[in-house]
Homo-oligomer: A and B are copies of this chain.
Amino acid sequence: MKLYETLAAEIESQIANGVLLDGEKIPSVRQTSQHHNLSITTVLRAYVLLESRGVIESRPQSGYFVRPRAQRSSPPAPARAAAPLVLSSEVDVSRLVLKTLRSISKDGAVPLGSPYADPSRYPWKRLSQYASTIARRHQEWSVMNDLPPGDPQLIRQIARRHLENGLAVDPGEIIVTVGATEAINLCLQAVARPGDTIAVESPTYYAMLHAIERLGMRAVEVRTDPTEGIDVNALAAVIADQKIAACMVMPNFQNPLGFQMSDERKRALVELLAGHDIPVIENDVYHELYYGDSHPTSLKTYDTRGLVLHCASFSKSLTAAYRIGWCLPGRYTADVEKLKFLNTLATSALPQMAIAEYLQNDGYDAHLRKMRKAFAQQARIMAAAVLRFFPDGTRVSEPKGGYVLWVELPGRVNAMALYARALEEGITVGPGNMFSARGSFDHFIRLNYSHAWNAQIEGAVKRLGRLVAELAAAEN
């Protein structure tokens, strides 16, 4: 048992014995560190572990408290209730993400840890007008008309948009989903089964790891170049070594690395997989947010055998709140359509129709140009601020699109420790270990730069830099 696990067990038994009472504040990280003669990082890891188990909770700017018993989750539940949702034995990633988002929305924490773009970037006024008009116009809706694949007008608009972006698709292949999240879940279910192994990038977007884990599959992480993308030779070696049921990648503006795979590498990847008859799920949600001169190609561009399952959504480019995504599942279209029907029956029609009307009648291109320009600029500002305020040895990515920066902390400062300290000060970050099923990248963080640069954000980056320095000093 590691030091922090021992400490966590000790605190947990104090709570069980009534030494620490429901709702009571537990000793601060600094006090416990001095009292037990342990490093700050070790104490923080113990607290984060207890929090992930639902035993204690942190309150911004107040410290850690014993979680009231009634609020603790499923305590002595039967064994089967403990389905393995936990990414590593250490941290429950989905609880961590939900907690981060709640700190932002409820307590006003600085949203550097958010996966979502600043919603003030989106053309709400026009979208809302369309939604309002459509609601008023429709005096009757039948769910029968909304069954998979989805609203016909929206499907036409998605096909048209793909064509404008250089990809001719068969509208009959498009299935509308509740965001790309549902699309990815359904596509994975269509191509692989419990026990199968899925090849992913390293680091990889945590929602893809969750999908793999939730379906009882196993992720194998393939070497991925931070600026070029997944290493096709390394993937070939993995395929030679073990049975791979499917591959999942983000070829454009990968979350968290921000790279764009070259056309040659995309083609090589698709050809390698086609040669082994392995389907590939392409998560292309950031495709409209490129900083370069032209829209990137997708893996689908090079697919001749129906093995690419392309997933995308309007959640990054137009609105996340409407929950509209889609997929082009190639030869698995009939299966994915059926799975959609079984998972949620249908996608609510009103948001689909509002987006369809916006795409048909409004300035989507002008809106996107504005957003791309702003994000490209803020990528540079955020990178410069991190390099200025963080200690020497910090390294940052160079995103080619999207709105997140990947930061390597100096001196292997622990990202979960930084996460916990930052949250105490009302600042959120995305800890790097969320992006690996093996808990790699524990000295990396992801920062969201979609919000217009202002004094609060600059102050938060500055404060983060000081916390990194403190944690580095405490370790040494």
A residues near B (Cβ < 8 Å) are 54, 73-75, 77-78, 80-81, 83, 85, 94-95, 97-98, 101-102, 104-105, 114, 116, 119-120, 122, 124-125, 128-129, 131-133, 135-136, 138-148, 178-179, 181-182, 185, 189-194, 196, 207, 210-211, 214, 216, 245, 277, 279, 315, 319-323, 331-335, 337-339, 341-351, 354
Contact status A338-B95, CB under 8 Å: yes
Q: With a CB–CB cut-off of 8 A, which chain B residues contact A54? A: 334
Cα distance, A427 to B116, chains bound together (Å): 48
Question: Are the CB atoms of A124 and B140 closer together than 8 Å?
Answer: yes
Shortest Cβ distance from residue A320 to the other chain B in the assembled complex, whole angstroms: 4
Which 8 interchain pairs have the tightest Cβ spacing?
Answer: A73-B334, A141-B321, A131-B135, A143-B320, A132-B135, A178-B344, A105-B144, A132-B136
Q: Which of B102, B128, B319, B339 contacts A139 (CB 8 A)?
A: B128
Output the nearest chain B residue to A192 by Cβ-Cβ distance: B80
* Contact partners of A120 in chain B: CB under 8 A: 140
- Identical chains in the assembly: 2
Would you call B344 and A83 a contact (CB within 8 A)? Answer: no
How far is A195 from B435 in the complex, measured between Cα atoms in Å? 29
Q: List, sorted by A's number, 19 A–B pairs whose CB atoms are closer than 8 Å.
A: A73-B333, A80-B193, A81-B190, A81-B279, A81-B335, A94-B341, A101-B147, A119-B142, A119-B143, A128-B138, A131-B350, A132-B133, A143-B315, A143-B320, A181-B344, A321-B348, A322-B348, A323-B347, A350-B350
- In contact, A74 and B124 (Cβ under 8 angstroms): no
A343 and B185 contact, CB distance less than 8 A: yes
Chain B residues with Cβ under 8 A from A331's Cβ?
A: 74-75, 77, 81
Q: Does B129 lie within 8 Å of A136, measured CB to CB?
A: yes
Which chain B residue lies CB-closest to A181? B345
The answer to whether A105 and B142 touch (CB under 8 A), given A131-B135, A135-B131, is yes
For A346, list chain B residues within 8 Å (CB): 179, 321, 323
Min C-beta distance of A397 to chain B, whole Å: 24
- In the complex, residue of chain B having the shortest beta-carbon distance to the beta carbon of A136: B132
A144 to B104, Cβ gap below 8 A?
A: yes
> Taking A178-B178, A193-B83, A344-B344 as contacts, is the C-beta distance between A338 and B144 under 8 angstroms?
no
Residues of B within 8 A of A315 (CB): 143
Task: Say which residue of B136, B144, B146, B189 sits within 8 Å of A83 (CB atoms).
Answer: B189
* In the complex with contacts A98-B147, A132-B133, A322-B348, A342-B139 CB distance below 8 A: no
